Structure 1
Amino acid sequence: MATRRGFLAGMLASGFAPVPSWADAGSPAFLSAARKPDGDYILVGLDALGAERFRIPLPARGHAATAHPTRPEAVAFARRPGTFAMVMDCRNGDVLSRLDCPEGRHFYGHGIFDASGDLLFTTENDYDAGQGRIGLWDARNGYARIGEFASHGVGPHDVRLMPDGTLVVANGGIDTHPASGREKLNIPTMRPNLSYIDIDGQLIDHVEPDELLASIRHLTVRPDGLVGVGMQWQGELADAPSLTATHIRGQVLREIGRGAELAGYVGSIAFSGDGSQLAVTSPRAGVAQVFDSQTGSKIEQIRKEDVCGVAALNSGMLLTSGLGDVFDIGQTAQRIAAHDLSWDNHLVQVY
């Protein structure tokens, strides 16, 4: 009888070697950064029931991650303003590559692959010029950096892939510098915008919020191209405008909800799996709000301490909190799992 080693050697020789997939990493539905009780940081794969599929050590606090469309690889980004991102093999925790920002740049904690998985786009700051950049990395060639282009704004935080293969970027308008940590350097003159950019760096469209102290931070995209927008208020809380919006390219932002109810802070945003609902979270307010994505009317408000991560699940959504809980949004936010971990800001869907 042929041995397994001999069988695999034959497969390799014939060019039919099995290609690793997310099934080889336990078929996770989501990724999230987390802090362990001992203070160490990890990246965790979760299934649709909130059960852990894998955990991988991180060198420092993570913010968000992005999953390769086909290979069991995840890129975990340092919290802003970070200068590293780790490409990890989620089957065994091996570090496949470390992405280091060029001199004079720092990451903003987010990135996204193109539909093929060949290119990785990262949000970055040219902190001497005070201008946002989008970094390009070749995922076919060890994640070598192959270029960059303007984000067409200041402080690009989140970036998402549109259905037509272009990018939408949340330019928060806030300038930062590693020498000043997380200090916001330009609040009186900030100009946030939502920019649509082709993969050659050309600006297709952009729009600003009505209130320029509303920093555009987080994005979600529906398959038909509707963009959900989450913002963070940089003024007095009593003056907070709406901090949730939807947008269709070529139109104005449709702002919904009340920012004061969110303590002026949207931590994460996601459409439901069927696209009919839009959820935003605020760990500062301990609130998740769910809106009808077509009418903009508020459907429900869910109070959960330190809630922040949210992602699509089947027809609904899943929530995570800094207390280690995982909730399924249904008629009520039912806790479906509890972990001895502190989940970080974002729950990222695996393709």
Structure 2
Amino acid sequence: MTTRRGFIGGLLAASTAPRLGWASVGSPAFLAAAREPDGSYALHGLTSAGIETFSIPLPDRGHAACGHPTRAEAIGFARRPGRFALVLDCATGQVIHQLGPPDGRVFQGHGAYSGDGSLLFTCEQEEQGSIGHIGVWETDGYRRIDSFATTGIGPHEIRLMPDGRSLVIANGGIETVGREKVNLDRMRPSLVYTDLSGRVMDRVELEPSLARNSIRHLAIRQDGLVGFAMQWQGELGATVPLLGLHRVGEMPTLAAAPSEDERAMEGYAGSVAFAGTGAEIAITSPRGGRLHRFSASGEFIAAFRRSDVCGLAALGDGYLASDGLGGLIALDNDRPRVLSRAPCSWDNHLIAI
């Protein structure tokens, strides 16, 4: 009898039919959702110079996306709690598949491909109780083949680890009804590592005094160091750390800015990314209009101020940031440079392809 793990292993080993690659659509380096000037929504492809290579309409507000490793194909995810995940042919602009969660579940705005692109993993939660699940889809036709528990509630982001054989999941710990938070006194955010079949390899929770620090977004360095961005659900004005660093099998390190800088973040980290060198990591706060840089061991380096800044990704030795005013900003060695300004409002994330 074929086991679930054996079946998934077989899919990972299988080749897919050749299709148009990313060079056919201008070799974009990033994907970003946006609100357009007329109030509609779209998913954009962007080069490392901030030049748009394509724009594909979305039916409602998008959040994050993920790009297939080889095909010019992207998944546009709805903002949580979401009902759509669209498979987009970036060469034609067509929706080639529309994915929906099972009855009683919603998508959570993020997903990830396996290293060879044969599988897609989607973050999901139950509408009643917010118990977390990862949906597993075979990408030759985008057929749902499995799901497994995240061992937490309110999962938000999932990322493939550099070994290609494991995943890291950010369980935010928040039970919601729609977007209303109903369990702030009982939160248990966690960082969970699984293999591709869902077997838990490691699970980390924050200490009780930080139980209201919802783990939301993830960045991964090539050597497996994970950065996680948090959003504080407790008293406003608290100076809690909003960045954590973790390696499998170890205790997490929490990185705090000086008190005045920490308060200016308003308890909210929207995105996280390692710099291109890997020597440092940064988080953004659209609420505070700030970007905070830290060393990869957690020491605060500097703050950069930019209204409504949120999207963040590695660019060269530094970062690319986006804001709600349509700006794309390169940050290299403390010298911010505006690459472009689009007539749109960038949403929360810049996703590297």
Same fold by TM-score, threshold 0.5 exceeded?
Answer: yes
Given residue 233 of structure 2, which amino acid in structure 1 is its aligned partner? Q
Judge conservation of contact 1:127–1:175 (CA < 8 Å) in 2.
Answer: no
For 1:42, the equivalent position in structure 2 comes to 42
1:314 to 283, 299, 316: 316
1:337 to 336, 340, 346: 340
Q: What is the distance in 2 between the residues matched to 1:242 and 1:19?
A: 45
Give 1:193 shift: 0.3
Q: In the TM superposition, what are the counterparts of 1:208-247 in structure 2 within 5 Å?
A: 208-210=205-207, 211-247=210-246
Give 1:18 shift: 6.6
Name the SS of the counterpart of 1:23 in structure 2. helix
For 2:118, the equivalent position in structure 1 comes to 118
Given residue 297 of structure 1, which amino acid in structure 2 is its aligned partner? E
State whether structure 2 residue 194 is matched by structure 1 residue 193: no
- Residue identity over aligned pairs, in percent, reads 50
Q: In the TM superposition, what are the counterparts of 1:1-351 in structure 2 within 5 Å?
A: 19-140=19-140, 142-164=141-163, 165-177=165-177, 181-210=178-207, 211-258=210-257, 259-294=262-297, 296-330=298-332, 331-350=334-353
Q: What is the distance in 2 between the residues matched to 1:202 and 1:332?
A: 44
Q: What is the distance in 1 between the residues matched to 2:190 and 2:48?
A: 34
Judge conservation of contact 2:129–2:176 (CA < 8 Å) in 1.
Answer: no
Judge conservation of contact 2:238–2:267 (CA < 8 Å) in 1.
Answer: no
Give 1:252 shift: 1.1
Give 1:100 shift: 0.5
Q: After superposition, give the CA deviation of every residue in 1:187-234 in whole Å (9 maximum; x if it has no partner).
A: 111100000011111111111123100000000100100000100000
Give 1:129 shift: 4.5
Name the SS of the counterpart of 1:273 in structure 2. coil
Q: What is the distance in 1 between the residues matched to 2:296 and 2:340?
A: 27
Given residue 208 of structure 1, which amino acid in structure 2 is its aligned partner? E
Q: Give the alignment's TM-score, normalised by structure 2.
A: 0.91
Gaps of 5+ in 1: 1-16
Q: What is the distance in 2 between the residues matched to 1:129 and 1:317?
A: 37
Q: What is the distance in 1 between the residues matched to 2:67 and 2:336?
A: 26
Judge conservation of contact 2:174–2:214 (CA < 8 Å) in 1.
Answer: yes
Q: What is the distance in 2 between the residues matched to 1:227 and 1:88?
A: 29
Q: What is the distance in 1 between the residues matched to 2:59 and 2:129?
A: 29
Give 1:238 shift: 2.7
Name the SS of the counterpart of 1:265 in structure 2. coil
Given residue 108 of structure 1, which amino acid in structure 2 is its aligned partner? Q
Q: How many residues of Structure 1 are paired with residues of Structure 2 in the alignment?
A: 329
Q: What is the distance in 2 between the residues matched to 1:251 and 1:18?
A: 41
Q: What is the distance in 1 between the residues matched to 2:324 and 2:42?
A: 14
Judge conservation of contact 1:192–1:212 (CA < 8 Å) in 2.
Answer: yes
Q: What is the distance in 1 between the residues matched to 2:60 and 2:43?
A: 11
Q: Quick check: which has more Rg, 1 or 2?
A: 1
Judge conservation of contact 1:173–1:216 (CA < 8 Å) in 2.
Answer: yes
CA pair 23-112 structure 1, distance change in 2 beyond 3 A: same
